[in-house]
Structure 1
Amino acid sequence: MSFEVYTGATPKGWKISVMIEALFEVGVELGEVNMHPVSLSDGEQFTDSFMVL
């Protein structure tokens, strides 16, 4: 199993990173986790390629 995580540099986005790290530390097997930064200040979340997700 793998996870693709798309997140911006916001407090809620950081919570996801912290949660994933905490799960790894307690031994939860998540498989591969790929983090993809999203630039909210540049409007990347409104691009056609992002909307396809």
Structure 2
Amino acid sequence: MAKKKNFPLRIDPKLYDVLQTWAKDEFRSVNSHLEFLLRESAKKAGRLPKKTDQQED
């Protein structure tokens, strides 16, 4: 697995609360849920290739 990049993120507390609840509903940590949402958004925008059977995370 590739090493992950760390970076600070400032976020509105109310938005964080929404994300925290959403992540909990999906059985994910907030961090992994944010990564999931960003990856899906990047795919939809055509900025990230869609995953193939041979690719790994």
**Higher RCO structure (Cα 8 Å, ≥6 apart):** 1
Pair in the same fold by TM > 0.5? no
- Bigger proportion of residues as helix: 2
Task: State the TM-score, normalized to the length of structure 2.
Answer: 0.37
Task: State the TM-score, normalized to the length of structure 1.
Answer: 0.39
- Bigger proportion of residues as strand: 1
